[in-house]
């Protein structure tokens, strides 16, 4: 099973910058004739440089494919299983689900950390509203429900945690996932045809 999340940022970023450049060029062109057109060209070069820098730093997905894991949560109503990417490196944890426009109902991203402590997450460049399940020693210790897309507000666990599992907003409530539920994961194996 292939995850449905995709990176569509390059075209989105270039399209947005082109639209901004065109609006500025129109305004400057009306106000300043030839000078306005020259100013618009200079601004165009500036925006191109910004787009290149953004691609280099913020937009490119991790160069490595993230490993897939099968995450199982034991709820009061029974087992719920997800296929998830595992973010265990500083870069993959930093990027997380940034720029994704899709995530299936039984898909997620599992962030694993070397030590148990108060973990802090945010929604920078994350277009999907998520439920964040904070996990410590195989049990859910906190849940941040329906996070706000693109927010820079810090979302911290109320207790120490050694991992965070992100799923689509509303998933925890609809599947009866609650604090105290057991969570385990193992390497994902593609079903045989």
For the chain, what percent of residues have pLDDT higher than 90? 63
Residue-level pLDDT at 2: 46
Domain 68-187 sits in which CATH superfamily? Protein of unknown function DUF192 (2.60.120.1140)
CA–CA dist 71, 82 (Å, integer): 5
Give the phi and the psi of residue 186 in degrees, each rounded to 5: -150, 165
Residue 79 token pair: 């087992």
Least confident of 3-12, 40-49, 74-83, 105-114: 3-12
What residue ranges of the chain are covered by domains with CATH 2.60.120.1140? 68-187
Residue 192 C-beta-side C-alpha neighbours within 13 Å:
0
Query: Which residues have a Cβ under 8 Å from the Cβ of 181 and sit 6 or more positions away?
Result: 73, 74, 75, 76, 139, 140
As a whole number, mean pLDDT of residues 13-37 equals: 51
Least confident of 52-56, 73-77, 145-149, 162-166: 52-56
Residue-level pLDDT at 35: 52
Residue environment code for 58-79, b if the CB has 16+ CB neighbours within 10 A, otherwise e = ebebeeeebebbebebbbeeee
**Contact predicate 99/8, CB 8 Å:** yes
Q: Is the pTM of this model over 0.85?
A: no
CB atoms within 10 A of CB 160: 15
CA–CA dist 85, 64 (Å, integer): 12
CA–CA dist 97, 82 (Å, integer): 16
pLDDT over threshold 70, residue 166:
yes
Least confident of 4-13, 41-50, 164-173: 4-13
């Amino acid at each position: 099973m292939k995850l449905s999340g995709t990176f569509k940022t390059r075209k989105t970023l270039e399209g947005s910058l082109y639209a901004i450049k065109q609006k500025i060029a129109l305004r400057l062109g009306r106000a300043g004739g030839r000078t306005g057109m020259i100013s618009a060209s200079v601004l165009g070069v500036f925006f191109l440089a910004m787009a290149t820098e953004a691609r280099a730093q913020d937009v490119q997905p991790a160069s490595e494919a993230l490993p897939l894991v099968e995450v199982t949560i034991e709820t009061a109503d029974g087992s719920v299983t997800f296929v998830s990417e595992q973010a265990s490196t500083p870069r993959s944890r930093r990027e997380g689900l940034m720029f994704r426009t899709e995530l299936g109902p039984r898909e997620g991203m599992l962030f694993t950390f070397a030590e148990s402590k108060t973990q802090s997450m945010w929604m920078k460049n994350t277009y999907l509203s998520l439920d964040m399940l904070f996990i410590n020693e195989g049990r859910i210790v906190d849940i941040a429900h329906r996070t706000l897309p693109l927010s820079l507000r810090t979302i911290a666990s109320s207790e120490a945690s050694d991992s965070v599992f992100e799923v689509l907003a509303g998933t925890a409530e609809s599947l009866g996932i609650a604090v105290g539920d057991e969570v385990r994961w193992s390497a994902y194996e593609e079903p045989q045809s």
